[in-house]
Amino acid sequence: MNPFSAISAVVSSGLKAQSYRLQLVSENLANADTHGYRRKLVSFDKARDAVSGADVVKVSRVMLDPAKGEELFDPSHPLANENGYVVMSNVNMLTEIADAREANRSYEAGLQIFRQAREMYAGLIDILRR
């Protein structure tokens, strides 16, 4: 087994997972003002890569945040319930921005690992050529 292939499999799975997380954060931010929208959360799990045999990251499931959205009294709104309340989105902009930064930094860290592994592998090849 090529160690560079194993590193590539692990890093690429992490990059895909963080990319998906950023996609969900952007969906949450885009729907922050949508009445009744519930924030999407993602959880990750460990899986075995069949080709490299390495443990990789995979998206295990996407779930809706169980927190309730704020209720506003607006009986004239088309989405108002029988009591005249409209349920707002449960998206917190600060939380989403923090999640986006964390995912972005994790993505950048994965790219740096890939660069370092590539440089080490290239250095090994240069040593073997001599």
d(C-alpha 73, C-alpha 87), whole Å: 9
pTM of the model: 0.84
User: In angstroms, rounded to a whole number, what is the distance separating the alpha carbons of residues 98 and 61?
Assistant: 21
Q: Where exactly are the structural domains of the chain? A: 3-129
Q: How far is CA 4 from CA 35, 62, 83, in A?
A: 48, 31, 61
What pLDDT band is residue 91 in, cutting at 50, 70 and 90?
A: very high
pLDDT tens digits along 5-35: 888 889 999 999 999 999 999 999 999 999 9
Q: Which residues pair with 73 in a beta bridge?
A: 85
Residue 127: predicted pLDDT:
92
Mean predicted confidence (pLDDT) in 51-61: 88
CA distance 120 to 117: 5
Q: What is the pLDDT of residues 104-126, one digit of tens each?
A: 999 999 999 989 988 998 898 89
2 pLDDT higher than 80: no
Burial class (CB in 10 A: 0-12, 13-18, 19+), 112: exposed
CB 13 within 8 A of CB 58: yes
1 pLDDT tier (thresholds 50, 70, 90): low
- E strands, 1-130, are 40-48, 55-64, 71-73, 85-87
